Amino acid sequence: CSMVETSLPFYFGWFLCPTQQEKLRNMANEFLSAVGSLEAFKEHVGDFAGEAEKEVNLQQYFQDKGVLHCTTKFCDYGKANGAKEYAEKQVVRESYGSKADLVLTALFLTPRTLGAQVSLTEAQLQLWPEDAEKEAVQSADLPRGSRAHVTLGCAEGVDPVQTGLDLLEVVLQCQQGDKGEHVQDLELGPLTYYGKGVWMVKLSEPLNTPAIFSSFYG
């Protein structure tokens, strides 16, 4: 019926509970403070601030993008490819409103975005669109779910969709044998620099985050 046609959401995803959002934001702040104060970061500050500036305040650099979540399918109210098919999948209908434990394995920042990498379980991958990685990087065969992330902030003028693309670039770089440069061990875990202002800390204790599979209408 036409109700179905008009009721497709802006996107589907796992939404973090408020206490978990706060925990993750605190962790992200810790990450920004730690990276921002490193000599190694200051040497590469031009990636963030342009040649003229010597310093950048990362806390101010990244703007908050609202409720923390891991997007599964961006539907754009039905305008996005495969939106209707996704919404009608049995597993999507059955999982709607259910709780999942997301595992966050890394935090990363680039001149464009700040995000957390999510490592999906086999069960969670059932809700992951087949073509999420291919849609972003046509030329490579990236593991399913490797785009999964939580956007924690974006530089001025950057849209959140960029966070997953930035993450895939790191995944691609690693797949091609470039493991980056180990900078030092932060309290959160080992920090790697991938060049061009891309920094990632692999969490020595992955963060388990309860989240609800639902949708956002905006």
Chain positions contacting ligand A2P, by CB under 6 A: 11, 71, 74, 151, 159-161, 163-164
Residue closer to ligand A2P, measured from CB, 159 or 181: 159
Long-range Cβ contact pairs of 19-25 (< 8 A, separation 24 or more): 20/68, 20/209, 20/210, 20/211, 21/67, 21/68, 23/207, 23/209, 24/68, 24/104, 24/116, 24/150, 24/152, 24/207, 24/209, 25/68, 25/152
Known catalytic membership, residue 182:
no
Rounded CA-CA distance 206/105 in Å is 5
Query: At closest approach, how far in Å is the CB of 65 from ligand A2P?
Result: 6
Nearest to ligand A2P of 123, 161 (CB atom): 161
Minimum distance of ligand A2P from residue 20's CB (angstroms): 16
Cβ proximity to ligand A2P: between 164 and 189 the closer is: 164
In the complex, least distance from residue 51 CB atom to ligand A2P, rounded to whole angstroms = 29
Please count the other Cβ atoms lying within 10 Å of the Cβ belonging to residue 124.
Answer: 22
Catalytic residue among 65, 73, 112, 149: 149
- Which DSSP state fits 79? T
CB of residue 206 to ligand A2P, shortest distance in Å: 20
69 has catalytic annotation: yes
User: CA 156 to CA 55: how far, in whole Å?
Assistant: 17
Could you report how far apart the first and last alpha carbons of the chain are, in Å? 23
Of the candidates 116, 122, 218, the residue with the CA atom closest to the CA atom of residue 170: 116
Catalytic residue among 65, 69, 73, 147: 69
Q: Which ranges constitute the DSSP H helices of 80-196?
A: 83-88, 90-95, 122-125, 132-136, 161-175
Catalytic residues: 69, 149
